Structure 1
Amino acid sequence: MLDPGVGMRSGGFEADRGVLSATVRTGSAPGRSRPATPPVLAPRPCPAHVPLAPAQERMWQAARLGRSADWNVARAMRLRGAAVDVAALREALKLLVARHDPLRTRYPATELGPAQRVIEPGDAVLDVAECAVSAAELGPAVAELAERPFDLAGELPVRARLFVLGPDDVVLALVVHHISVDGRSMGPLIRDLVTAYLACRAGTSPQWRPLPISYIDYTLWKHEQLGEFTDEWSRATHQLRYWANALAGRPARLALPAREQSAPPIDPVAGALLPISFDAATHAGLLRLAHDGRASLFMVLQAAFALTVGAFARSSDVTVATAVSGREHRLLDDLVGNFSDDVLMRVRLDRAGDVEELIDQVRRVALAAYAHPDTPDTRLKRCLLEDAALPLFQATLILQRAEAPRTATEPPPAQGLSITEIPTGVVRAKHDLEFGLTDHYDPLSAPAGIDGSFIYPIARFDEATAQHFVARFGAVVGLLAQGYRGPLAPLLAAAGRGRSLSTARRATRVLV
């Protein structure tokens, strides 16, 4: 049997090394030429074996190593008023699973590698139960459901519970494994669920627009795009070659400060959350800096983040990451599935003399990373000869735009019924340093501020250390928004100590 961790585009480690060494030496290599016409994203026949999409491979490997629950995505919605119809809610969940293939897909290991096996709607048994709970019992019950692992090979990657607090007060807790959804899936998923519930409550069928393609269609198209790793001219090999060159010689691990190990040991991904926010004036200042540097707001924030991480770890060579949506094609907008993946950005602080040079470097690195988003982590680690047990990155920053107000095409809630999202009480810190930020704009598109949270593993950092890191990041962002454009040394001093602009400008010693 082949290694079940190696998917459709596998050629083995020796093939990786051979392709890379040939192309690095000569800049080209003999082999098949790339197809003249790129494949079209459209419905296609489904073969007997469907591999994982590139974005799914990391989650499958984590589940294989016993870390399935780390990748659970949980949402809890409270429905109040209008005599919540529990039977209609159950039926709506079944219709939702029937509409979106990834919600009824299993992921077994096969001789050809991990596979996607879509279950027919009539055979898909959804794990949903109704439980009467008190207000005090609700939080622990939702958390227990959210932390329960999935058997990806043997069960559906979705489960639900209806926690009944009263006849007019029900909490729907929905947990889906990340292998089947991403962040942008939650919009169409919740929208379709509300549409189905309102229809079932009225005794009709939901009037959904037909989905133009399936997730399986997308997977097959993506693999056709990338080609085989054994093909030296394929897009897959081109991307692998880029990452092998970009990350060669980097520090394998950042020396971040850590708390003493406790007894008994703490779950390594048990996390805590700290809020962070920047006002409209700071937001506007960052946008001005981005405009002047021909960059985006994200690139400016990522530059500040890399600089703060570098000062925190006392390293001038920092690898940070972000997520890319993977939904560049309009046909993917309404699909539920995992299209997103992480891309790495190696920032060399010692190669940037001032703010302008740092932002220019981050802009170039980010654009290159966006162009090479599909290399699986396991294959990249084998090429880099890095310890498979170590993460490819420890620090990540994600920026997303605030959701637009409800449009006329979205289903209105039933009269007398309110639907609000409530916290699940579960924080999983899969990385050492993780910012999730959202930028907001007023109705005239003027900057209205940035907010979000910092997530950290409590096994690694105590709250005081986490607060200190957030303060450092905030100090750097504040200096950039105020117009500082000079050498990096004062910014590094601010990142290292959280000092004011006047104090930072007097600093001359670089901390990395």
Structure 2
Amino acid sequence: MNAEDSLKLARRFIELPLEKRRLFLKALDKEGVDFSLLPIPAGVAVPDRQALSYAQQRMWFLWQLDPQSAAYNLPNAVRLSGPLDRAVLAQAFDWLLERHESLRTVFALEDDEPRQVIQEARVDIDYRELCDLDPAQGETRVQQLADAEARRPFDLQQGPLLRVCVLGLGEQEHVMLLTLHHIVADGWSMGVLIEEFLHAYDSLLQGEVPNVPALPIQYRDYALWQRSWLEAGEQERQLDYWRAKLGDEHPPLKLPTDHPRPAHSSRQGRRLDFALEQPLAQQLGALARQQGVTLFAVLLAGFKLLLSRYSGQQDIRVGVPIANRTRQEAEGLIGFFVNTQVLRTELSPQLTVQQLLADIRETTLSAQAHQDLPFERLVEALHLERSLSHSPLFQVLYNHQPQVTELTTLHSRSGLQVQALPRNERTVQFDLTLDTFERGGQLQAAFTYDCQLFEAQTIERMAGHWQNLLWAMVREPQSALAELPLLSAQQHRGFLAQGAGAEEVFSAESVLELFARQVATQPEAPALVFAGQCLSYRELDLRASRLAAALVARGVGPEVPVGIAVERSLEMVLGLLAVLKAGGAYVPLDPQYPEQRLSYMLEDSGVRLLLSETAVQPRLPVAARVEALLLDQAQAWAPDSDPLAALPGMAAGNLAYSIYTSGSTGAAKGVSITHGALANYVQAIIQRLPLGLRALWPWSRPSPRILVTPRCSAPCAPAVACT
């Protein structure tokens, strides 16, 4: 099939109604014709079909939600050095608007549907003179005006959606502020705009017509082609892939923030730029070659590992922008083509660096094969709840740009040179964005972050941790992810030294002796308060001693483990204290844990006696060998019987309790704590907590109070009993 026949076939397809397009596409598939490879016809008019692309349609929706938002402004500031002819400058922009319909497009509602409206080619250039300011003041004013211009919202219905402001700093020095709305342009478009502006300016200055190839299509042709193709069946095929890939649950990434997330984000952001050390950059490239992946995959792997460490989550989803200009017709257009894909990775702690890189490689290749589905259609199809505080499906973006060309390489024949100006303030669309650039043999990076969530020092620390993980990856690609250090060796030593602090000497009293002293000092002061119930120190001591006697009668003594599984209550502290009085070692068991985890903890600890409650005990996987003592049933342990006459002999090295935590593999791991360690901990807590903030109780002298929130807090409960 020749080019002319292909173009006719594509035009015929687009002009058909939906059902016939579906049949037509199936027929093409049977003939082995890939419609996505057919040329995009220009000038096809289908009056009853939307002319907005899917990306534009979502941008229109977001603008309607918040018309004053500048989150989707595309600002660019460039320094123009050399002679500037203002009349020719205006002519160059008139030529650009005539060439690119997108630059003179606005949007209107017709029958409640948004439509593109192409206006006449015209741009009003705003000139401002700053020549009377000294150089330092001038640069400050430029930055202020650039930030203000970037924050100024657009009216998508009235337009224009391109603003040009020229700041005069001198006869040979100007700064040009270009601002577009994302609905008509993207980052690629900005490069096209500046290159073609310089070419047009040069030509018009010489009295020539700009000599550039005619555009094969306009953006509205692409929008109509995209909708016609995707609606005919391709959209559902790619949707099926993404539904399966992303699953039914879409948990947000919960990074620890410096400030609470606001209900409505202002989208104000800042950027941290830094360069990776040259040895690290070289070794990252070597690792990529060894593993058969791109540098993008290696950097993304390190970033995802960083996010997993910070959030404590293993299911990490990161948005990745793609230019989406796979068609030759689209390369020279100004328009909103960029698409975003969600790359999901399960970062299991046992996974090695090599396995992670292989997984990201496969995920990326698979995503590229399904890159035509607009992100906007995916969001709509998944029926995600929309929020003004965070983006759907992902909250963090990663973008890698290989071999970046600097704007400073652009200059006109007339001597006008262009240099990009950095900006401090930025609008952000996501909580955090990482950009990486291969530039002049260096590997550079930038974190752009939401100022309402993060402080600058937090992002600086995060950048350091990311580089630490990258160093660990290149040094130990066979290692499990859980083994890779977040801190450098120097940072690790510093934290250990900081944590050691000054040596402190505590009394040799045990926790039980500290408690007895408190009982003797304040017998009637409230020791425990819960749900309207209150126990004084004397009452707590008496009840704990009686329960301890019952435990001793059942064989509890030094080094004997006793499980305790209760909901948060007075009985929780009572049980822990009684086990210590009996000389045993308590093993706290959270009733909310999965049955398999509780079974392992009971078996691993060797528990033979379990303290629980009537409502909790049936939910526990208690083996026949384990005796259960229900604390809320008085007849079970005779609370009116004689209390324990004397404490059993215990040494500082005897076991006080065992607590189970999740190790690096996620499996439960028991940690044993001695009486000596517990006594030191309790005394340190008593010394450091702000216990001077005392509550005045109407029936007793002032008494310290501690709030304990965990269901079964192993180390905190003894501290409560002793204060």
Given the two structures, how large is their TM-score scaled by the length of structure 1?
0.82
Distance in structure 1 (CA, Å) of the matches to 2:121 and 2:405: 34
Give the C-alpha shift of residue 377 in structure 1. Answer: 4.5
- Counterpart in the other structure of 2:284: 286
Query: Does the aligned pair in 2 maintain the 1:57–1:376 contact within 8 Å?
Result: no
Q: Within 1, Cα distance between the matches of 2:227 and 2:348?
A: 38
Larger Rg: 2
Letter in 2 for 1:459: Q
Once the two structures are TM-superposed, the CA of residue 34 in structure 1 deviates from its matched residue by 6.4
2:402 pairs with 1:401? yes
Q: CA deviation at 1:32?
A: 8.1
* Residue type of the alignment partner of 2:197: L
- Greater relative contact order (CA < 8 Å, ≥ 6 in sequence): 1
Residue correspondence of structure 1 range 339-358 to structure 2 within 5 A: 339-350=337-348, 353-358=351-356
Tell me the secondary structure at the aligned position of residue 108 of structure 1: strand
Could you say which residue in structure 2 is the equivalent of 1:368? 366
| Deviation of the 1:118 alpha carbon | 2.4
Q: Distance in 2 between matches of 1:267 and 1:319?
A: 21
CA distance in 1, matches of 2:216, 2:491: 53
- C-alpha spacing 1:454/1:375, structure 2 compared with 1 (3 Å): same
Structure 2 counterpart of 1:247, one-letter code: L
Distance 1:482 1:157 in 2: 50
| 1: CA distance, partners of 2:438 / 2:363 | 22
Given that 1:281 and 1:449 are in contact with CA atoms closer than 8 Å, whether structure 2 keeps it comes out as no
Which of the residues 121, 126, 130 maps onto 1:129? 126
Q: What is the alpha-carbon distance in structure 2 between the residues aligned to residue 346 and residue 267 of structure 1?
A: 25
Secondary structure in structure 2 of the residue aligned to 1:126: coil
Q: CA deviation at 1:88?
A: 1.1
Alpha-carbon offset, residue 142 of structure 1: 2.0
Call closer, same or farther: CA 1:411–1:307 in 2, change over 3 Å. closer
- In the alignment, does 2:158 pair up with 1:154? yes
Q: Equivalent residue for 1:80? A: 81
The answer to whether the 8 Å contact 1:54/1:375 transfers is no
- Shift in CA distance, 262/116, structure 1 to aligned 2, threshold 3 Å: closer
Aligned-partner Cα distance in 1 for 2:418–2:180: 20
Instruction: Determine helix, strand or coil for the equivalent of 1:69.
Output: coil
Change (3 A) 1:404 1:78: closer
Deviation, 1:399, is: 0.3
CA–CA distance in structure 2, aligned partners of residues 167 and 204 of structure 1: 25
> 1:473 offset after TM fit, Å?
1.1
Deviation at 1:309, TM superposition (A): 0.6
Give the corresponding residue for 1:215. Answer: 219
Q: Which residue of 2 aligns with 1:476?
A: 469
1:343-393, CA deviations, whole angstroms, 9 ceiling, x for partnerless residues? 001110128621111111111111222222344445434443432225221
Aligned to 2:267: 269
Q: After superposition, where does 1:313-328 map in structure 2 within 5 Å?
A: 313-328=311-326
Structure 2 equivalent of residue 54 of structure 1:
54
After TM superposition, the structure 1 stretch with the greater mean CA deviation from structure 2, 413-422 or 94-103, is 413-422
* Range 48-57 or range 92-101, more displaced: 48-57
Q: Deviations over 1:315-337 (max 9, x none)?
A: 01111111111011233222211
Structure 1: which amino acid aligns with 2:465? Answer: R
Cα deviation 1:169-228 (Å, max 9, x = unaligned) = 222111011121112222221111011112222233222221222222222222233224
Structure 2 unmatched ranges of 5 or more: 1-13, 15-22, 494-662, 668-723
Tell me if the contact between 1:308 and 1:476 (Cα under 8 Å) persists in the aligned partners.
yes
Map 1:159-174 onto structure 2 (within 5 A). Answer: 159-174=163-178
Distance 1:397 1:281 in 2: 23
One-letter identity of the residue aligned with 2:238: Q
Which residue is equivalent to 1:311?
309
Distance 1:102 1:171 in 2: 24
Equivalent residues of 1:381, 1:387 under 8 A apart: no
Change (3 A) 1:416 1:365: closer
Structure 1 SS opposite 2:253: coil
Q: Secondary structure at the match of 2:226?
A: helix
* Partners of 1:359 and 1:397 in 2: CA distance: 16
Identify the residue that residue 651 of structure 2 maps to in structure 1. Answer: none
Of 317-326 and 290-299, the range deviating more from structure 2: 290-299
Following the alignment from structure 1 to structure 2, what is the Cα–Cα distance between the partners of residues 197 and 338? 25
Secondary structure of residue in 2 paired with 1:124: coil
Quote the Cα distance in structure 1 between the aligned partners of 2:318 and 2:490: 25
Q: Structure 1 residues 304, 510: closer, same or farther in 2, change over 3 A? A: farther
Q: Deviations over 1:21-55 (max 9, x none)?
A: xxxxxxxxx99836433152233333235432233
CA distance in structure 2 between the partners assigned to 1:34 and 1:289 by the alignment: 46
Rounded to whole Å, the distance in 2 between the matches of 1:382 and 1:331 is 28
Q: Is the 8 A contact 2:411 2:418 kept in 1?
A: no
Q: CA–CA distance in 2 between the matches of 1:311 and 1:299?
A: 18
* Counterpart in the other structure of 2:460: 467
Report matched runs for 1:240-259 at 5 Å: 240-259=239-258
Task: Select between 139-148 and 284-293 the one with higher mean Cα deviation.
Answer: 284-293
Q: Which amino acid aligns with 1:354?
A: T
Q: CA deviation at 1:419?
A: 2.4
SS in 2 for 1:320: strand
Q: In structure 2, do the counterparts of structure 1 residues 425 and 502 end up closer, same or farther at CA, with 3 Å as the change threshold?
A: closer
* 2:143 corresponds to which of 139, 142, 161: 139
**Partner residue in 2 for 1:69:** 70
Provide the residue aligned with 2:549 in structure 1: none
Question: Residue 488 of structure 1 is aligned with which of 481, 506, 530?
Answer: 481
Map of 2:421 onto structure 1: 422
Which residue matches 1:437? 436
> In structure 2, the residue corresponding to 1:172 is in which secondary structure?
strand
Task: Check whether the contact 2:407–2:418 (CA below 8 A) recurs between aligned residues.
Answer: no
Is residue 162–residue 181 contact of structure 2 (8 Å, CA) maintained in 1?
yes
DSSP-derived class of the 1:219 partner:
helix
Residue identity (%)? 26
> Whole-Å Cα distance in 2 between the matches of residues 144 and 413 of structure 1?
29
SS at match of 1:212: coil
1:184 to 183, 188, 212: 188
Question: Following TM superposition, by how much is the alpha carbon of 1:70 offset from its aligned partner in structure 2, in angstroms?
Answer: 0.7
| TM-score, length-scaled by structure 2 | 0.59
Q: Which runs of 5+ in 1 are unaligned?
A: 1-7, 9-29, 229-233, 442-447
**Superposition deviation, residue 102 in structure 1:** 1.1
In 2, Cα distance between the equivalents of 1:155 and 1:142? Answer: 20
2:91 equivalent to 1:91 = yes
For 1:271 and 1:215, how far apart are their aligned partners in 2? 30
Contact 1:160–1:174 (Cα < 8 Å) also in 2: yes
Equivalent in the alignment of 2:701: none
CA contact (8 A) 1:274 1:467 kept: yes
Q: Is the 8 A contact 1:259 1:461 kept in 2?
A: yes
CA distance in 1, matches of 2:448, 2:314: 23
Q: Partners of 2:63 and 2:666 in 1: how far apart?
A: 39
Equivalent residues, number: 461
Gap change, CA 1:204 and 1:425, over 3 Å in 2: farther
Query: Matched residues in 2 for 1:405 and 1:429: separation?
Result: 23
What residue number does 1:445 align with? Answer: none
Shift of 1:81: 2.7
Q: What is the DSSP-based 3-state SS (H/G/I as helix, E as strand, rest coil) of the residue aligned with 2:371?
A: coil
